[in-house]
Structures are given as structure tokens and as C-alpha cells.
């Protein structure tokens, strides 16, 4: 989460603030200001519902910080969403016109002092002020028309104190990340954003007692923000030359007199860098820059998106492992490329030759190209992606399922208990045989089905006890994937995941979920959902091959899942959920790139579900998805029921859904499962009433935000009791 979210009153800047008079602000000096006293400080929070947690200095202790993240009692947690188009999440700051903002957390400066005391030179990295405000949201108390950018003056005041404290701690450089500048999808005029960039870095650059400033544009191209940064009194600009493009000579002229940090090694995938191509990019950059401009070779983003060291993955086929580069290997690639740029290609001739040889070996591997898969993808027609008209499907499903108004369900997974994990670990180690493991999973499934019947849910799930992860489970059963043992990356807070590696053409050797779903359905007369992870999400939550177009990979996965849907139908499963929580997060940051993405991503889902019979009810699920941004694409998925995360945002997606005229059924979540807090029935009822008021009862399903894998059974049962009670109460009021 951006660590500059503060909540203590700061002095106002000059009247008018940034944007009123850039020249005057550029001449202003912050050096007479002094940061607050050092100490063990933690990020504070601005929402009014948390103000009583602040100490006298406006800071939060660690318990208060976690309260913002998790919620407590009647205080919902901060909203959590994906960091741009990555798999990392952040807590969304809530800001209004009266939110007190100042520098109260000295943790970053304290870490610089600690590093220097250990003899290590470090460059602290902080989210930049413009991205911080663009990625925040107005609080519920904000007046109509307010935007967090309205508080730029106060945020710059806090950043000024931070820069001075870092300089005092001994930092010679500070990196301010401005990833929001590479996107044109913010709900604010681009001209205003560029004015904010100009004002922010004119102001911060004019501070005397500060480290040198590097502004990094990660996750894409800076575009029209590049010349604005070029005019600012800062010392360096970082370019992402993996996700972004190499700027033209005329655009780079604006950077004369500044250092350029060239991100040519991907910080987001795990494939070896094409050293020849990366070095060519660096050479072209040098040719286009003003002569003498310093170039630093770097990764395109931070390395938080990749695991540490591929050498630990001894279980992966050595040939496949030789194609990979985790964080430690990427650092080595940066050093190699820097040497090649400084000393010439001859200095790294051996490394270039080895890389070329490994690339040739990869291309020749039999699993990389399978003729039968390529032929099947090439034979796909539009008819394969098209189901019967919705009205026909709706009538057939109502006759088959007989569900009440406002039907209740869960998203899929139930808590993964210590006993489940212990049984899985023992099975993987060979300490128990297949029969014992199967018996343990069946016992858990039976318990989950019985619990749902006792609670009164209408459409049940089997709980996914057998699944360690909603993507890894399928990756282990599909040809073309490998999984790691130590490849952990952070998702949010204490939650980490091990993304699978999709390296070859995808084939489904045999059914993957049918046995478990059929067993669960045999235990109940109520409908039970078959649970699949969709093609886009399998891709987004894996490290995907970089040697073929993603559209082709998505269709390969779509065909494999289509076979699974057919087998579930043959086993008597009448409701099948194909989760696509990642369809928003892989949406390109630039609007111009979106139509092509949406065509293939939606098409792959429809390929997976297009063979389902009219009486089979197809569900999908989205989370962290800013539903209003992709509502048209979600509509084109043509799922019969779509469940979405909505409780943390207090159903703020409903106006967009109502305005769009969403034809099919929708389940906006009424329980925030990312917090251990148990919602009351009254709270669930209020949210459900909002949904019914906006959409009509005939279109609304009642469900949690997401799956329940990370929750405990006590809070799960209590929360589902509130959810079912709310559905019954609203039904009675209709």
C-alpha cells in the first residue's frame, strides 16, 4: 500500500496551491520546515471512521494500521484493489476536503539510517504524490465534485518533510514512482494530471535540503508526461522499456541534462531476458539521447512481482529451468547488460551466445509447439463461442433449478483448515496413499455440503478442499504447465501465492474436477455448482509464455475448459461457474489497447462456455474488478449470473450497472471476506436492499464478495447466517 497515507494536520501552503502559479511555487523553499520527531511510527489513515485510533501526533500504531486494513466492528476496512494491471493489491486511501495530511511516519528514513549503519548504500522508493492521489478515492464525507488531486498542496507539504528527513538520514537519492502516469483511464482530465505533475516536481525539485530525485514511470510509457518531467528540476527519469515503448529522439530531447534509468529487464515475468534485444534497445536509446546523457540499466519495475531464486526449483525439468530468470537472476542480467552497454558487445559475447543457444533449445522443445493444439485453435468458429439466446436459457434454467427469488450461494471455496493442509502435505510426501487422501477430502466435502444445507443456502458448492490454489490446481492437471516449490510472491498483506509457469501448448489429459463435483452433488437434492477457473484468470495468475500471442494461449485454455464443462454436464451438474476475477486486472492501461484485449479475453471465456446446454446455468465471478470499467465486456461474456465484489465499495458499482442496462442476473457481494470482521444481518440487509433497489429483485443473487478459503469456520458460519437472514428478510419485504 502507498505508505504516504497520513492523517495529522499539516500547515497550509501558499494560497492557491500548486496549479495557481507554477513559477511562484517553483521558487518556494521547504528547507525551513522541519519534520516531526523521529520514532517508531506507522502509516496513519484519514477516514473519519478511524480518526479515534490516531495518537496525539496523528499517527497510527501497528494495531491501528491493521484495523484500517481489516476493519473492526461497525467500521468497514479500506477498499482493496489491484495495483494497476499487476497481481499485487493495495489499500485505497480515502481523502476528502478536511482529511488532515502530514508527514508522521518516519519508518522509511529510519530504514535508510539502519542500512547506512550496516554499510549499505540504499535508494528509498516511495509512491509519487500524483500517483498517490490518482489512486486514492474520495471518502464518503467528500463533497460532490471533489477529487483527491484537490489536496495536492497538502500532500506536497508532507512529501517535502519526507524528502528532508531522507536527506538528513543520509539518502543521496530517492525514487518517486509515478505508475499512474502511464495510464489514461483516470476519471480526471489528462491536462489536469499533467499540470499536477508539473507543479509537484517543480515544487519538490526546488527544495534545497533533499536527496536527488528519480521519477520512475513504471508499467508502461510515460507518453505526454515525459516532456513535463523533462522540464522539472529533478535529476533522473526512469523509463519502462518492457511494457512501454522506446521514445523517439525528439521526445527524449526533453531529458537533456538528466540521467535516464532504462528498464529493459522485465520485473514482472520469469523468462530469461533476450539479451541481444535488450542490448539493442539500450544502444538505440543511447543514440537517441543527447550525447553524454548518463544511462543506468535497470529492471522495468520493482522485483516484488517475481520469486527470488530459480536455482532453488530443483523439481522443475532442468531444461525448462534454464529458460527462467527469477529476481536474483534478473539482477545478474542487469549487470551483464550494463557491462555490454559500457564496454561493447564483445565484453559479453559469451553471455549473448549462451542466451541465443537457450532460446533455440526452447523453440525446439516438443511441448512448446503441439500440432494438434494449434490445429484445434485454428478450427474455432464464432459459433463455438455462441450459446442460445438468454431468454431461452433463462426459461430452461428456471424450469430445471426451481430457485426462489434472491437465491443465495457462495463463490466457491470454503475454509482450508489445518487438517486439510496436513492431509494434502502428507499425501504429497507419500505418507498417506491415494485412498486415504481421497477419504479425507470426501469427508470435508460432505461436511461443507451439510453445513450449507443447515444454513439454508439455495445453490451449494463442494468447497474445493482438494485445491491448494484456484490456478495451481488446474496447472498441475494440464499439460504445458510447471509449478514451483519456492516461487512465492506477495498478493496483499500476509497473503502470498506461487504462480504457476505456463511454458507450452495446453492439453487436458483427463477430467479435472468431475469426480469431486459429482460426489458432492450426490449428497444433496439442491443444485450444486461445478467450479472452474477461467482462461484469462489462469493466464493472469500464472507466469505466461512470452513466445506466442496471448490470444492464442487464451483459446488453448478455453478449449481445455470447454471439454471440462461438457464432462461436468454429462455428470449431471446443472450449474457451472467459470471464475474470471482477473479480467479487469489485465485490461491494458491505455484505452487504445483495450478493444483488442477485450475481444480475445471475452472470446476465450465464450469458447470455454459456448458448448453448454441452455438449461445449464453458467456463472462467473469477478473481484477487485472496478466493474464499471469493464461492464460492457462482462456483459459480452454472456454468463447467466455474474457475482462481483461490492461490499467494501458499499455497492458503488450499482449506478453503472443500472445505467448500462445489464440484462442478466448479478450477485453483488454483501460480505467482505477479506476481513475477519463478521457483518451483521442488518448490514447485509442494507446492502442487499441497495442492490434490489437499483437492479430489481428478479436480477439479484445474494453472495459473499469472494471465496472463503482464507477465513475461519466460526466467522464463515456466522457471516453466512447473516447473509441468508438478510435474503429472507428482503424477500419478505418485497
Residue 413 labelled as part of a binding site: yes
Residue 466 labelled as part of a binding site: no
Q: What is the DSSP track for 501-570? A: EEEEEEE--S-SSHHHHHHHHTT-SS-BEEEEE-HHHHHHTEEE-SSS-HHHHHHHHHHHHHHHHHHHHH
Specify the pLDDT at position 47: 84
What is the average per-residue pLDDT within 240-255? 96
- The pair phi, psi for residue 642, each rounded to 5°, is -120, 120
In this structure, are 128 and 210 located in the same domain? yes
Q: How far apart are CA 83 and CA 226, in angstroms?
A: 22
Domain termination site, one of 182, 212, 234: 234
**CA 604, 416, 89: angle at the middle one, nearest 5?**
55
pLDDT above 60: residue 370: yes
Residue 87 labelled as part of a binding site: yes
pLDDT above 80: residue 534: yes
What is the average per-residue pLDDT within 142-166? 97
Domain termination site, one of 234, 255, 271: 234
Q: Which of 17, 75, 24 is nearest to 648 (CA)?
A: 75
Q: Which of 48, 87, 215, 63 is nearest to 543 (CA)?
A: 87
In this structure, are 674 and 692 located in the same domain? yes
Q: What is the per-residue pLDDT across 259-289, written as a single tens digit (0 to 9) for each?
A: 999 999 999 999 999 999 999 999 999 999 9
In this structure, are 27 and 107 located in the same domain? yes
Say if 308 falls within a structural domain: no
Specify the pLDDT at position 20: 31
Q: How far apart are CA 14 and CA 43, in angstroms?
A: 26
Percent of the chain with pLDDT over 90: 79
In this structure, are 340 and 407 located in the same domain? no
pLDDT above 70: residue 36: no
Say if 718 falls within a structural domain: yes
At 658, the pLDDT band (50, 70, 90 cuts) reads confident
Specify the pLDDT at position 27: 29
Specify the pLDDT at position 76: 86
Catalytic residue IDs: 674
Residue 453 labelled as part of a binding site: no
Q: What is the per-residue pLDDT across 45-88, written as a single tens digit (0 to 9) for each?
A: 468 898 888 888 888 888 988 999 988 888 888 988 889 999 89
In this structure, are 438 and 560 located in the same domain? yes
How high is the mean pLDDT of the chain? 91
In this structure, are 141 and 277 located in the same domain? no
Specify the pLDDT at position 40: 30
What is the average per-residue pLDDT within 663-674? 90
Say if 321 falls within a structural domain: no
Residue 579 labelled as part of a binding site: yes
Say if 347 falls within a structural domain: yes
Say if 239 falls within a structural domain: no
Say if 377 falls within a structural domain: no
What is the average per-residue pLDDT within 627-643? 87
SS (H, E, C) 379-440: CCCHHHHCCCCHHHHHHHHHHHHCCCCCCEECCCECCCCHHHHHHHHHHHCCCCCHHHHHHH
Specify the pLDDT at position 628: 67
In this structure, are 108 and 256 located in the same domain? no
Say if 262 falls within a structural domain: yes
pLDDT above 70: residue 35: no
Residue 671 labelled as part of a binding site: no
In this structure, are 51 and 161 located in the same domain? yes
Phi-psi group of 200: left, alpha or beta (phi > 0 → left; psi -120 to 50 → alpha; rest → beta): alpha
What is the average per-residue pLDDT within 603-626? 92
Residue 684 labelled as part of a binding site: no
In this structure, are 191 and 260 located in the same domain? no
Residue 706 labelled as part of a binding site: yes
pLDDT above 60: residue 39: no
Q: What is the per-residue pLDDT across 391-449, written as a single tens digit (0 to 9) for each?
A: 999 999 999 999 999 999 999 999 999 999 999 999 999 999 999 999 999 999 999 99
In this structure, are 225 and 257 located in the same domain? no
Q: What is the CATH number of the domain that holds 557?
A: 3.20.20.210
In this structure, are 399 and 292 located in the same domain? no
CB 262 within 8 A of CB 241: yes
Q: Which range marks the domain in which residue 249 is found?
A: 244-303+333-361
Specify the pLDDT at position 130: 98
Domain termination site, one of 206, 234, 262: 234
Q: 506: how many CB neighbours lie within 10 A of its CB?
A: 26
At 358, the pLDDT band (50, 70, 90 cuts) reads very high
Q: What is the per-residue pLDDT across 209-235, written as a single tens digit (0 to 9) for each?
A: 999 999 999 999 999 999 999 999 999
Specify the pLDDT at position 75: 87
Q: What is the DSSP track for 149-163? A: GGGHHHHHHHHHHHH
Q: How far apart are CA 702 and CA 404, in angstroms?
A: 11
Q: What is the pTM of this model?
A: 0.87
If one counts the domains in the chain, the total is 3
pLDDT above 90: residue 182: yes
Say if 642 falls within a structural domain: yes
Q: What is the DSSP track for 176-227? A: EE-GGGG---SSS-HHHHHHHHHHHHHHHHT-SSS-EEEEEE-SS--TTHHH
Q: Which of 606, 641, 470 is nearest to 87 (CA)?
A: 470
In this structure, are 259 and 229 located in the same domain? no
Residue 320 labelled as part of a binding site: no
Amino acid at each position: 500500500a502507498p505508505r504516504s497515507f497520513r492523517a495529522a494536520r499539516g500547515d497550509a501552503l501558499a494560497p492557491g496551491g500548486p496549479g495557481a502559479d507554477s513559477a511562484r511555487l517553483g521558487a518556494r523553499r521547504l528547507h525551513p520546515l522541519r519534520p516531526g520527531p523521529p520514532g517508531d511510527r506507522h502509516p496513519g489513515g484519514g477516514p473519519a471512521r478511524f480518526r479515534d485510533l490516531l495518537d496525539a501526533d496523528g499517527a497510527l500504531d501497528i494495531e491501528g494500521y491493521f484495523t484500517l486494513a481489516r476493519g473492526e466492528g461497525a467500521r468497514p476496512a479500506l477498499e482493496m484493489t489491484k495495483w494497476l494491471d499487476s497481481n499485487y493489491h493495495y489499500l485505497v486511501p480515502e481523502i476528502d476536503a478536511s482529511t488532515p495530511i502530514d508527514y508522521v511516519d518516519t519508518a522509511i528514513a529510519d530504514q535508510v539510517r539502519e542500512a547506512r549503519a550496516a554499510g549499505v548504500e540504499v535508494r528509498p522508493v516511495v509512491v509519487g504524490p500524483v500517483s498517490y492521489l490518482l489512486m486514492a478515492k474520495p471518502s464518503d464525507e467528500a463533497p460532490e465534485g471533489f477529487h483527491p488531486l484537490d489536496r495536492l498542496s497538502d500532500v506536497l507539504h508532507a512529501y517535502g518533510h519526507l524528502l528532508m528527513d531522507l536527506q538528513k538520514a543520509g539518502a543521496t537519492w530517492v525514487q518517486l514512482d509515478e505508475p499512474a502516469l502511464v495510464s489514461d483511464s483516470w476519471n480526471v482530465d489528462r491536462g489536469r494530471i499533467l499540470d499536477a505533475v508539473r507543479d509537484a516536481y517543480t515544487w519538490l525539485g526546488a527544495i534545497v535540503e533533499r536527496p536527488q530525485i528519480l521519477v520512475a514511470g513504471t508499467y508502461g510509457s510515460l507518453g505526454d508526461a515525459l516532456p513535463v518531467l523533462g522540464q522539472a528540476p529533478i535529476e533522473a527519469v526512469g523509463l519502462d522499456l518492457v511494457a512501454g515503448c522506446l521514445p523517439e529522439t525528439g521526445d527524449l530531447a526533453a531529458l537533456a541534462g538528466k540521467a535516464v534509468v532504462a528498464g529493459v529487464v522485465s520485473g514482472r515475468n520469469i523468462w530469461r531476458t533476450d539479451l541481444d534485444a535488450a542490448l539493442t534497445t539500450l544502444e538505440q536509446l543511447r543514440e537517441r539521447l543527447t550525447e553524454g546523457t548518463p544511462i543506468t540499466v535497470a529492471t522495468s519495475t520493482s522485483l516484488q512481482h517475481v520469486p527470488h531464486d530459480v536455482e532453488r526449483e530443483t523439481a522443475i525439468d532442468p531444461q525448462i529451468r534454464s529458460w527462467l530468470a527469477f529476481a536474483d537472476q534478473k539482477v545478474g542480467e542487469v549487470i551483464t547488460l550494463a557491462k555490454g552497454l559500457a564496454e561493447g558487445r564483445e565484453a559479453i559475447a559469451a553471455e549473448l551466445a549462451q542466451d541465443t543457444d537457450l532460446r533455440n533449445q526452447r523453440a525446439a522443445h516438443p511441448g512448446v509447439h503441439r500440432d494438434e493444439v494449434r490445429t484445434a485453435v485454428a478450427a474455432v468458429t464464432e459459433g463455438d463461442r455462441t450459446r442460445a439466446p438468454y431468454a431461452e436459457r433463462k426459461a430452461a434454467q428456471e424450469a430445471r433449478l426451481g430457485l426462489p427469488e434472491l437465491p443465495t450461494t457462495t463463490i466457491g471455496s470454503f475454509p482450508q483448515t489445518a487438517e486439510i493442509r496436513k492431509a494434502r502435505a502428507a499425501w504429497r510426501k507419500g505418507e498417506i496413499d491415494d485412498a486415504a487422501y481421497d477419504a479425507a477430502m470426501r469427508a470435508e466435502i460432505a461436511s461443507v455440503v451439510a453445513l450449507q444445507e443447515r444454513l439454508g443456502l439455495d445453490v451449494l458448492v463442494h468447497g474445493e478442499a482438494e485445491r491448494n490454489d484456484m490456478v495451481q490446481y488446474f496447472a498441475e492437471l494440464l499439460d504445458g504447465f510447471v509449478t514451483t516449490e519456492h516461487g512465492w510472491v506477495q498478493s496483499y498483506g500476509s497473503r502470498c501465492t506461487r504462480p504457476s509457469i505456463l511454458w507450452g501448448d495446453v492439453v487436458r489429459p483427463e477430467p479435472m474436477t468431475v469426480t469431486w463435483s459429482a460426489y458432492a452433488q450426490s449428497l444433496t437434492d439442491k443444485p450444486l455448482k461445478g467450479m472452474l477457473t477461467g482462461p484469462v484468470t489462469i493466464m493472469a495468475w500464472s507466469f505466461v509464455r512470452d513466445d506466442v500471442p496471448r490470444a492464442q494461449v487464451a483459446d488453448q485454455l478455453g478449449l481445455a475448459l470447454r471439454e471440462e464443462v461438457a464432462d461436468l454436464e454429462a455428470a449431471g451438474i446443472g450449474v457451472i461457474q467459470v471464475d474470471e476475477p482477473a479480467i479487469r486486472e489485465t485490461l491494458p492501461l491505455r484505452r487504445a489497447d483495450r478493444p483488442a484485449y477485450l475481444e480475445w479475453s471475452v472470446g476465450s471465456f465464450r469458447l470455454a462456455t459456448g458448448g453448454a446446454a441452455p438449461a445449464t446455468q453458467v456463472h462467473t465471478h469477478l473481484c477487485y474488478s472496478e466493474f464499471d470499467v469493464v461492464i460492457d465486456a462482462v456483459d459480452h461474456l454472456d454468463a447467466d449470473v455474474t457475482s462481483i465484489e461490492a461490499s467494501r465499495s458499499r455497492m458503488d458499482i450499482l449506478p453503472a450497472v443500472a445505467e448500462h442496462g445489464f440484462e442478466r442476473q448479478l450477485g453483488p457481494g454483501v460480505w467482505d471476506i477479506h476481513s475477519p470482521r463478521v457483518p451483521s444481518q442488518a448490514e447485509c440487509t442494507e446492502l442487499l436492499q441497495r442492490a434490489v433497489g437499483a437492479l430489481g429483485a428478479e436480477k439479484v443473487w445474494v453472495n459473499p464478495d469472494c471465496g472463503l478459503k482464507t477465513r475461519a469456520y466460526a466467522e464463515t458460519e456466522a457471516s453466512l447466517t447473516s447473509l441468508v437472514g438478510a435474503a429472507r428478510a428482503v424477500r419478505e419485504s418485497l
